[in-house]
Structure formats: C-alpha cells, structure tokens
Amino acid sequence: MSALLEVKNLKTYFVSKKRVVPAVDGVDITIRKGETVGLVGESGCGKSMTSLSIIGLVPSPGGKIVDGQILLDGVNLVDLSENNMCKVRGRDIAMIFQEPMTSLNPVLTVGEQIIEVIMYHLQLNRSDATQKAINLLKMVGFPRADKIIKEYPHRLSGGMRQRVMIAMAMSCNPKLLIADEPTTALDVTIQAQVLELMKELSRKFETSILLVTHDLGVVSELAERVIVMYAGQVVEEALVDDIFDKPYHPYTEGLIDSVPLIEGAITRLNSIPGNVPSPEEMPKGCRFAPRCRVAFDRCYSEEPTLQSISTSRFVRCFLYEEGEVNGCSRL
C-alpha cells in the first residue's frame, strides 16, 4: 500500500509581536490508503493544530505553517492556493469536530447542510443532492432520513448530531477523514455506536482516518497505528497492539497507566505528575524530562531525535539510542 498522506517536518507556529508559540514543531505522519491512525497526547500538545494544518484551517491571523510539507497523493497542500485548497476541503479531506452541539449551523436544516456540500463539490442538482443526502443519513443510522433532513440541529441529540456530521463528512467520499475527538463529548454507549459507525464506513469506502483523541481506549478500538505527541512533537509511533503490549517512551507508558483499569473491585488510576510545558517556555533538552521518572543527566542538556526501532516503530528517547532496546522497564 502506498502512502495517501505524508506529513513531513510540519511546523505550525503562532507568531505575535511578543512571542512565538511553536504549537506543532516538526511532526511527521504517514497514513496509507484505508488505514486508521490514532493521534494521541495530553491537552495542548498540538493534536488539533496538526489536524487543522492538514486541512488548511490553522486559525489566522496568528497561526501559520512555517515549514514542512503535507503531501496528499503526492500534491503538496501547503503550496496550494486558497482557491485550490477549497476544492480539497470537504471533498478529498473531510473533518469532524469534538463539539457536535455547536458544529452544526443552528439556522439551517440538517438536510440543507448536507445538500449544500454535495451540490458544491459534486455539481449535482438539488433533487439529486437531496436524494443522496437521504441515503447518507440512512447509512449513518437514521431510518426516517426523509424526516430528519427537515429538522433543525437543536432538535437532535449530541449523538445524532455527530452522526449528521459524519454523514456530511462522508458525502463526497473523501480520501481522508480527520476526526478531532469525535466522541469526547458523547456518553459511553453513544460513543461506542459512533466509533462502530466510523469503523464500518472506513472499511466500506476505504477511507483513511486520522483519529485525534486523548483516549487510548478509543484508539485501541479503531486504529491500526498510533502516533503519540508531546509538546508539539511526535515522541512515539507504533502499531496499536505493540504499543499496548510494550510502550517504549516513558510518556506513552504514563499515558497507558493513566487509563482507568478495573482490577477486582479497586480502580487504579495513575496520572503523570506535572503538566505539559507551555510551548513558549520549552525546557532545554528532552521536553518530557522534567516529568520523566527515568530521566538522567543527558536528558536535561540534549534534545533526543526520533529513532527508528523497526519499520513500524519510532521513539524519541535516549534510552533507545542506536536501536538498542533496553531500560524503561515498567517499574
């Protein structure tokens, strides 16, 4: 399988007169056709900025892609004009967001919001687009889709709205679907249904998914590969099974440990001490060092690079220099 999306050394900075905030600082992501990749990390580590960079919606003024390439089928999106980028957005790359309650326009009907995107990108007339919208809504689980298209968003529940968002995103059969915390705002049972739906659709249409979340449970449910971000950088990349089996980076280990585990009657919850450093005051050396349980001298003076451990595994930590796998036992 060839790569659908290749993000190379992406740097997205917020530049103001007073300071420069490197929200995304040299990120590489590769997604193959039909593949689902999870992008995880704590709040503020740059997941949303990475995904907004890919779809070309970095908040402006202020935010800007200052370096790197985003290749979609070999075309560098960073170099595209705004006009050409408009043809990519919603058609080749679609995006769904965390807040289903506020992500739909309150004064337009659900149907209109799906129909307009179909008419815009696929040049269908209104009645064909309406028919397609009804089919899409049926596909995401609205049996009475012909009724739903006439409803306004405020009449639907959060889960229903997120299904509408998914129908909308899938309407032009995108090559890549970016889902930024698609289930975070939903309750657990609805969450499972929405994830199931996304899994089914990506299989059916061979859509690649970039799944942004801080919930490792969601990742293990849906993704084949995981990319772990910390402070604007990728710190580990691995197949899902491998990473849960044996996380390499101390940060990944901390993340996995902080997922609530139910052991008998006792719920164990470990959290990583401290906070993500704010991008404008990055620590010298390894960015995770001040919070790391196994940091040593070198970690405070030198910045580690992303090391390749195997073809599918990368880690940014001095414990794994030269491909040697030692240390970081799960004490």
Ligand X SMILES: Nc1ncnc2c1ncn2[C@@H]1O[C@H](COP(=O)(O)OP(=O)(O)OP(=O)(O)O)[C@@H](O)[C@H]1O
State in angstroms the smallest separation of the CB of 59 from ligand X.
Answer: 5
Point out which span in 43-51, 118-126, 297-305, 316-324 binds ligand X (CB under 6 A): 43-51
Should residue 14 be labelled a site residue for ligand X when binding is judged by CB under 6 A?
yes
Structure-block tokens of residue 320: 């794994």
Answer with the entry of ligand X, other proteins, Mg ion, none that 295 interacts with (C-beta below 5 to 8 A by kind). Answer: none
Answer with the entry of other proteins, ligand X, Mg ion, none that 43 interacts with (C-beta below 5 to 8 A by kind). Answer: ligand X
Dist CA 128 CA 54 (whole Å):
31
* Nearer CB in complex with other proteins: 55/160: 55
| Integer Rg of the chain from CA | 21
Should residue 47 be labelled a site residue for ligand X when binding is judged by CB under 6 A?
yes
Dist CA 56 CA 64 (whole Å):
10
Dist CA 319 CA 130 (whole Å):
57
SS3 letters for 32-58?
ECCCEEEEECCCCCCHHHHHHHHHCCC
Point out which span in 47-55, 135-143, 186-194, 234-242 binds ligand X (CB under 6 A): 47-55
Of positions 48, 202, 252, 307, contacts Mg ion by CB under 5 A: 48
Asked if 53 and 60 touch (Cβ cutoff 8 Å), the reply is no
Point out which span in 28-36, 56-64, 134-142, 288-296 binds ligand X (CB under 6 A): 56-64
- For 39, 42, 159, 178, the CA distances from 188, given in Å and listed in that order, are 20, 20, 10, 21
* Nearer CB in complex with ligand X: 64/199: 64
Should residue 213 be labelled a site residue for Mg ion when binding is judged by CB under 5 A?
no
Point out which span in 17-25, 41-49, 148-156, 316-324 binds Mg ion (CB under 5 A): 41-49
Q: Which of residues 266-295 bind ligand X (CB under 6 A)?
A: 279
- For 154, 279, 305, 314, 318, the CA distances from 301, given in Å and listed in that order, are 53, 18, 13, 22, 12
State in angstroms the smallest separation of the CB of 280 from ligand X.
Answer: 8
On the 0-12 / 13-18 / 19+ scale of CB atoms within 10 A, 106 is exposed
SS3 letters for 217-239?
HHHHHHCCEEEEEECCEEEEEEE
Answer with the entry of ligand X, other proteins, Mg ion, none that 62 interacts with (C-beta below 5 to 8 A by kind). Answer: ligand X
Return the residue matching tokens 């970016």: 178
Footprint of other proteins (CB under 8 A): 55, 57, 83, 85-91, 94-95, 97, 99, 102-108, 116-117, 120-121, 152, 154, 165, 168
Point out which span in 9-17, 47-55, 168-176, 226-234 binds Mg ion (CB under 5 A): 47-55
Asked if 115 and 133 touch (Cβ cutoff 8 Å), the reply is yes
Interface residues with ligand X (CB under 6 A) are 14, 21, 23, 41, 43-49, 59, 62-63, 214, 279
The binding site for Mg ion (CB under 5 A) comprises 48
